[in-house]
Amino acid sequence: MEKIEVIVSSYAAEAKGIVTLELRRADGASLPRFTPGAHIDLFLPNGLVRQYSLLNDWRDSGCYQIGVARVANSRGGSAWVHEKLRQGTSISISAPRNNFPLAADHRKLFFVAGGIGITPILAMIRQCIAEQRDWELLYLARSRQRAAFCDELMGFDRNRIHLHFDDEQAGLCDFRSALRKLGGGVPVYCCGPAPVMEAVTGFAQEHPNNPAFVEWFAPPPDSGGGDRAAGSFAVKIGSSGREIEIGADRSILDVLEESGFCLPFSCREGMCRSCEVKVLEGEPEHRDYVLSAAEKAAGNCMMICVSRAKGASLTLDL
């Protein structure tokens, strides 16, 4: 994956446990364009790669802005950003990718953001304002002190924004009450922790006229990816005809790397679309969280970090 060298031009505390970073090229040159909902990979010097949503105006090609919440049980990503990264630091990033775009035909939208999940939603709201789309936001946080960008949001249109802080309202949000007021045909765009996402997707399943579009931080806790039966199968390399056996307990990505292939990847959890490969023959068993239902039904691409074969073999465009 091609890397872009940037510097941290600004680093500031945004809310309790959350910092915002502004990234620019050292020479001031433009960065690749992005669309609201996009994210970038941050290649940390400790060897980790982490994905963060872009929150700034998509029309500004001079910088990227991201928000990073410190995770309580950090595996080394958010902790490094909070403890080591500072203004003036040089770091590598990827070009933006968007697995969570706003549909052009959605003229009225309802957003649900939980905690740091406000970052992609903030960029989407900017787009809605610029394009004069009708929108509302339900923003959830454990406390007002942990609610990033609250003042900026209120400056847009406080009448469109509904806040829920658990400590002030003595409990979690009643999603049923909040969402059942939606009119038919209004889609819900949601990003946040698992309980928020599960509540929204559950509502959408019961109300087909209010489809949900979501972006997960991590695989859903009940995804069961590690518990599902996964037999061995063969992967055939389309360019050479070489066949490689994928064991029942191995991923396609891992085995191909061991076989000498240099392939792009990032999260290794089916969350970022970095390792997407075209399927030439065979039927993939999709275990990712980024492909749409239509893309999964078409079966002509797959995420080789988590997905497998339904049959005895797959032929991949490698």
CATH 2.40.30.10 domain extents, the chain: 4-93
Of 26-30, 288-292, 297-301, the one with minimum mean pLDDT is 288-292
Question: Is residue 48 helix, strand or coil?
Answer: coil
DSSP 144: G
At 45 the pLDDT is: 85
Task: State mean pLDDT over 234-260.
Answer: 94
Q: Which of 232-236, 288-292, 309-313 has the lowest mean pLDDT?
A: 288-292
- β-bridge pairing 212-216 and 188-192: parallel
Single out the residue of 137, 71, 146, 140 nearest to residue 108, CA to CA: 137
Residue 223 in this model has a pLDDT that exceeds 60: no
Q: Are 62 and 110 in contact (CB under 8 A)?
A: no
**Residue 183 scores a pLDDT above 80:** yes
Cβ pair 299, 279 in contact under 8 A? yes
The CATH number of 233-316 is 3.10.20.30
Instruction: Give Dmax over CA atoms of the chain in angstroms.
Output: 62
Give residue 193's identity as a one-letter amino acid code. Answer: P
pLDDT of 226 reads: 46
Separation CA 289–CA 181 (nearest Å):
28
Question: What is the pairing mode between strands 161-165 and 134-141?
Answer: parallel
Q: What pLDDT score does 29 carry?
A: 97
The pair of structure tokens assigned to 250 is 């191995």
pLDDT band, very low/low/confident/very high, at 227 (cuts 50, 70, 90): very low
* The CATH number of the domain covering residues in 4-93: 2.40.30.10
CATH number 3.40.50.80 is the correct assignment for the domain at 108-216: yes
Q: State the DSSP code for 177.
A: H
Q: For position 222, what pLDDT does the model report?
A: 58
123: left (phi over 0), alpha (psi -120 to 50) or beta: alpha
What pLDDT digit, counting tens, does each position of 33-71 carry?
999 999 999 999 888 888 999 999 999 999 999 999 998
H, E, C per residue of 1-34? CCCEEEEEEEEEEEECCEEEEEEECCCCCCCCCC
Residue 235 pLDDT > 70: yes
Which pLDDT tens digit goes with each residue over 78-137? 999 999 999 999 999 999 999 899 999 999 999 999 999 999 999 999 999 999 999 999
For all residues of the chain together, what is the average pLDDT?
91
| Residues forming CATH 3.10.20.30 domain(s) in the chain | 233-316
